[in-house]
């Protein structure tokens, strides 16, 4: 592709109820390293922002679950169906269950999304082109969901690139600010200074 970090999103539909999503980017890291990150449950947890565990005794299966706003949860099991070191990895997600809200029972979703991550070596193995595809046999009914899924693919690749290139994800979570919440802030009087203010006293230079 020639331009690192340029993530190309493209979507094509193979029928009214079928959805295929694509995303691609270039990563300044060897394919072996990117492949290893993708296969590591700890790194998958960071990529998917979900809790990921390898199922005991099953090297090719991982369980993941992600908490949703309002106490909801989505979870499933990823089974790797084909893998070729540093080149491609294919998987299917099974037993998808969704709980919309805390206290409600989880519902089984009768879909089994299939994924493909393919890697192509660039710059004599120092970089690689990464293509990520997701096929869903039942497309979500609302365009909003489809856009969210596209964004999810995009974000996953962006995080994969950051982890492969720097070993960490940039964050501001937990940094200080002057933000206050709710009623505490509304009780504070506005502190805009009047325009006709006294001049500052000190001047140098």
Partner 1 sequence: MLALCWYGKNDVRVETVPEPTLLNPTDVILRVTRTAICGSDLHLLDGFIPAMAAGDILGHEFVGEVVEAGAAVTKLRRGDRVVVPFAIACGQCYYCKREQWSLCDNSNPRPEATATAYGDASSGLFGYSHLMGGYAGGQAQYVRVPYADVGPLKLPDGIGDEQALFLSDVFPTGYMAAENCDLEPGDTVAVWGCGPVGQFAIRSAYLLGAGKVIAIDAVPERLHMAAAGGAEPLPYDQVDDLQAELKWRTAGCGPDACIDAVGLEAQGRTAGAIYDRIKTRLWLETDRADVLRQAMLACRKGGTISVPGVYGGLLDSLPMGAAFAKGLTLRLGQTHVQRYLQPLLERIQQGEIDPTFLITHRLPLAEAPRAYRMFRDKRQGCIKVVLDPWAESQAA
Residue from 105, 143, 189, 200 binding partner 1 (CB under 8 A): 200
Other residues' Cβ atoms within 10 Å of the Cβ of residue 136: 20
- The least CB distance from residue 34 to partner 1, in Å, is 13
- The least CB distance from residue 5 to partner 1, in Å, is 4
Is the separation of the CB atoms in 51 and 45 below 8 Å? yes
Residues in 15-74 at the binding interface with partner 1, rule: CB under 8 A = 26, 28
- The least CB distance from residue 116 to partner 1, in Å, is 23
For partner 1, which stretch binds (CB under 8 A), given 3-11, 44-52, 83-91, 104-112?
A: 3-11
How many helical (H) and strand (E) elements, i.e. helices and strands, does the chain have?
Answer: 4, 9
Residue 31 to residue 15: CA distance in whole angstroms? 34
Other residues' Cβ atoms within 10 Å of the Cβ of residue 203: 6
Contacts of 19 (CB under 8 A, 6+ apart): 11, 13, 135, 136, 139, 140, 146, 149
- The least CB distance from residue 46 to partner 1, in Å, is 12
Q: Which residues pair with 23 in a beta bridge?
A: 9, 132
Residue from 3, 16, 142, 187 binding partner 1 (CB under 8 A): 3
Burial of 43 (0-12, 13-18, 19+ CB in 10 A): middle
Nearer to partner 1, 141 or 190 (CB): 190
Nearer to partner 1, 18 or 148 (CB): 148
For partner 1, which stretch binds (CB under 8 A), given 39-47, 59-67, 68-76, 186-194?
A: 186-194
- By the rule CB under 8 A, 191 interacts with partner 1: yes
- The least CB distance from residue 125 to partner 1, in Å, is 15
- By the rule CB under 8 A, 204 interacts with partner 1: yes
Question: Look-up: residue for tokens 């997701």?
Answer: 134
Contacts of 73 (CB under 8 A, 6+ apart): 65, 66, 67, 98, 99, 106
Residues in binding contact with partner 1, number by CB under 8 A: 43
Question: Look-up: residue for tokens 């506005």?
Answer: 190
Binding mask 143-182 for partner 1 (x = CB under 8 A): --------x--xx--x--xx--xxxxxxxxxxxxxxxx--
Which residues contact partner 1 by CB under 8 A?
3-7, 26, 28, 127, 151, 154-155, 158, 161-162, 165-180, 185, 190-193, 195, 197, 199-200, 202-205
């Amino acid at each position: 592709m020639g331009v690192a970090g340029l993530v190309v999103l493209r979507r094509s539909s193979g029928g009214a109820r079928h959805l295929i999503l694509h995303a691609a980017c270039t990563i300044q890291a060897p394919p072996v390293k990117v492949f290893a990150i993708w296969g590591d449950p700890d790194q998958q947890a960071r990529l998917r922002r979900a809790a990921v565990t390898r199922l005991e005794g099953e090297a090719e299966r991982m369980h993941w679950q992600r908490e949703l706003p309002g106490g909801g949860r989505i979870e499933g099991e990823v089974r790797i169906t084909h893998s070729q070191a540093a080149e491609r990895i294919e998987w299917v997600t099974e037993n998808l269950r969704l709980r919309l809200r805390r206290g409600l029972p989880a519902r089984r979703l009768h879909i089994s999304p299939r994924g493909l991550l393919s890697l192509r070596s660039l710059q004599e193995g120092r970089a690689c082109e990464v293509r990520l595809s997701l096929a869903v046999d039942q497309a979500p009914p609302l365009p909003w969901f489809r856009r969210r899924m596209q964004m999810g693919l995009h974000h996953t690749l962006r995080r994969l690139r950051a982890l492969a290139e720097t070993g960490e994800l940039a964050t501001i979570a937990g940094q200080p600010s002057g933000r206050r919440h709710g009623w505490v802030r509304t009780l504070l009087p506005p502190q805009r200074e009047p325009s006709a203010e006294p001049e500052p006293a000190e001047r140098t230079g």
